[in-house]
Structure 1
Amino acid sequence: MELRQLEYFVAVVEESNFTRAAERVHVAQPGVSAQIRRLERELGQELLDRSGRTVRPTAAGEAVLPHARAALAAVAGARAAVDELAGLIRGHVSVGMVTAGPTVTVADMLAGFHAEHPGVGISLSEDTSARLLGALREGRLDVALVGLAGPPPPGVSVHVLVDEPFVAAAPPGDPLAARDTITLEALCDRELIALPRGTGLRTALDNACARAGFTPRVAFEASDPNILARLAARGLGVAILPTTVADTHASALRAVTITRPGLRGRIALAWRSDGPASSAAAALVAHARLSLPARQNTGARSMSDTSAPASSSRRKS
């Protein structure tokens, strides 16, 4: 049994595809297939189910997978220990970012880290917060920028960067725009525009509506909050937006504070609670925590509060 066989096996399982796995490990696909076949012959069991459109681990493969990952992590740890003893930081780090996250901030952070540690390779991927947190816990990511609707899941530590309320945003001609506040339950019959499932904002919305006894009528979904705002400005529904995003669209939308319950969301830097798997990943977490300072936006002002004094004709619900 060779380490490269375990590496190829883990890559195929995580990519669910031989071609993508081969690209990931920089080996021709026949080479990957041949090495995994040798591993299967040595173990006397098929590890992968190749019969479907995607490749999946068999029961034997599921049993072998955690041991393969542990072996690869142990080797990486041994190399990291030697590098640390020699005063070197090198290797590779994997970073995840929630779709439509603060790209410029992350780019600046990664550029600073690269300048300090040019020997470390960096990969960046985008996904929903739910998938990023899963990849983080499984060791496929070293650090991730995620949206949180509540406490972080077990095994994950966070450094909160943004904590702000969500508002309901509608164009000035909408009856909702005449209000200062609205209860969440009062939105049960309105068509809503929101981020897709798996994002922090959508999870917060769905959970709050479930506690209130109804399912939100989400008519439109988009991964970019600015697109949600533009759809609402065209009268296609009420957008559920972070306050800061609503503020940037003050000329086209009026934001109304959601009460009973109020909705809040957080953007946070996340990593495994038991610590990064390598010295390079540990250095990245330390650098990110310094270059991405925590900041709070605890206000719950509506967009009209930032543009003009509220009119006496505005009503509360």
Structure 2
Amino acid sequence: MEFQQMTSFVAVAEENNFSRAARRLRIAQSSVSLQLKRLERELGVQLVSRASQPVRLTPAGEAFLGEVRQVLDLAGQAVEEARGVAAGRAGTIRVGFNFVAGRLVLPATLRRMHAEHPSLNVELTCMHSGPQLRALADGELDVALVFGAQQRRGWRSMPVLRVELVAMVDKRHRWARRDAVGFRELAGQRCVLFGREMCPAMYDEIQSAAARTGTRLDIVEEINDPLATAVAVRTRQVVGFTSAPRWDQSAAAGLVTVPLVGPVPTLPVHAVWRADRAPGPVEAFLRCLNATRVRKGVRSA
């Protein structure tokens, strides 16, 4: 049973006339007649009585009409949903984000999304940058908000903002009252750092700053959980690293963040997506993100 056969049947049933049905469908009358004959042959029943004027439905045609209308209505809804997804008006987009993006840009982006695309559902997952990138590669995320630009074939990225990295110490540490600490001073301190697999950009930026200043970092342990890092900093008097936007959380845990200078290590946050993903929802999210990414106190990437 073909779509054109059903639309021809419904038009004849509603117009009670082949010529008017043809004009409504903007096709030749002979085509309407042919489609209806094919439908009747396929079903094995007569749907209309051609002997009467106007054309009347047979009992089988009356029963079939209601079912066909439901099918066409569902088909129309499916077409509109498909068009809505393609245009970014409907569907679901899966977004991963890190702490910084979740605090600085995501709330305003989601408010704009809700206002401009109320039928577009956003599924959120908070993850470190490394796991986000793996999920994006595996097709489990549509957009990842991560530290660092990503240069991969078939991937696209958009800079969102840039944040500073700071040293994190216990409030009893001798640096706790300092306005800033020179990066070279880290050479005399025991440090903990995220493993590269969890946050490649942060790991690389700190190691790069160390190389530029000729500083040998004493990394006593790699810890991949922020809470575990905070516990280590408080109890073992080691120096940790975090992004400046985490300051409130660190302070609440009895920690202090101290700016690093000479150089100041910084991290860009990028929105990353795969070029082969559904363009409509992704483009809608990126437009809203781009419109809200400039925040007070945050430097654009």
Kindly provide the amino acid, as one letter, of the partner of residue 167 in structure 1. Answer: V
In structure 2, which of residues 266, 269, 277 is the aligned counterpart of residue 267 of structure 1? 269
CA distance in 2, matches of 1:92, 1:147: 24
Tell me what 1:95 maps to. Answer: 95
Kindly provide the amino acid, as one letter, of the partner of residue 186 in structure 1. Answer: E
- Shift of the 188–88 alpha-carbon distance from structure 1 to 2, 3 Å rule, reads closer
Contact 1:168 1:257 in 2 (8 A): yes
CA distance in 2, matches of 1:85, 1:160: 25
- Shift of the 289–233 alpha-carbon distance from structure 1 to 2, 3 Å rule, reads same
CA distance in 1, matches of 2:239, 2:223: 12
Kindly provide the amino acid, as one letter, of the partner of residue 96 in structure 1. Answer: G
Tell me what 1:168 maps to. Answer: 167
Contact 2:191 2:218 in 1 (8 A): yes
Matched length: 215
Tell me what 2:223 maps to. Answer: 221
Tell me what 2:143 maps to. Answer: 143
Kindly provide the amino acid, as one letter, of the partner of residue 237 in structure 1. Answer: V
The one-character-per-residue Cα deviations of 1:170-211 (angstroms, maximum 9, x if unpaired) are 235434446554443432342223444332433322343355
Can you give the 5+ residue segments of structure 2 that lack an aligned partner in the other structure?
Answer: 1-78
Where do 1:273-284 residues align within 5 Å?
A: 274=275, 277-284=278-285
Tell me what 2:74 maps to. Answer: none
CA RMSD of aligned residues (A): 4.0
- Shift of the 117–254 alpha-carbon distance from structure 1 to 2, 3 Å rule, reads closer
How far apart are 1:95 and its partner, in Å? 0.9
Tell me what 2:40 maps to. Answer: none
Q: Which moved more, 1:204-213 or 1:276-285?
A: 204-213
Where do 1:1-317 residues align within 5 Å?
A: 83=83, 89-98=89-98, 102=102, 106=106, 109-110=109-110, 112-114=112-114, 116-136=116-136, 140-148=140-148, 151-154=149-152, 155-161=155-161, 163-177=162-176, 180-197=179-196, 198-199=198-199, 200-209=201-210, 212=214, 214=216, 216-219=218-221, 221-224=223-226, 228-229=229-230, 231-246=232-247, 249=250, 252-272=254-274, 274=275, 277-293=278-294, 297=298
TM-score calculated relative to the size of structure 1: 0.52
Q: Which moved more, 1:168-177 or 1:235-244?
A: 168-177
- Shift of the 234–193 alpha-carbon distance from structure 1 to 2, 3 Å rule, reads same
CA distance in 2, matches of 1:129, 1:85: 27
The one-character-per-residue Cα deviations of 1:116-159 (angstroms, maximum 9, x if unpaired) are 434434322233213323544665432221122xx442433223
CA distance in 1, matches of 2:157, 2:106: 18
CA distance in 2, matches of 1:260, 1:124: 37
- Shift of the 216–81 alpha-carbon distance from structure 1 to 2, 3 Å rule, reads farther
CA distance in 2, matches of 1:193, 1:135: 26
Can you give the 5+ residue segments of structure 1 that lack an aligned partner in the other structure?
Answer: 1-78, 299-317
Contact 1:167 1:243 in 2 (8 A): yes
TM-score calculated relative to the size of structure 2: 0.55
| Bigger share in helix | 2
Contact 1:99 1:223 in 2 (8 A): no
Contact 1:164 1:243 in 2 (8 A): yes
CA distance in 2, matches of 1:138, 1:110: 24
Contact 1:172 1:253 in 2 (8 A): yes
How far apart are 1:217 and its partner, in Å? 0.9
How far apart are 1:83 and its partner, in Å? 0.6
Contact 1:229 1:241 in 2 (8 A): no
Q: Which moved more, 1:278-287 or 1:211-220?
A: 211-220
- Shift of the 124–80 alpha-carbon distance from structure 1 to 2, 3 Å rule, reads farther
3-state SS, counterpart of residue 141 of structure 1 = coil
How far apart are 1:220 and its partner, in Å? 5.9
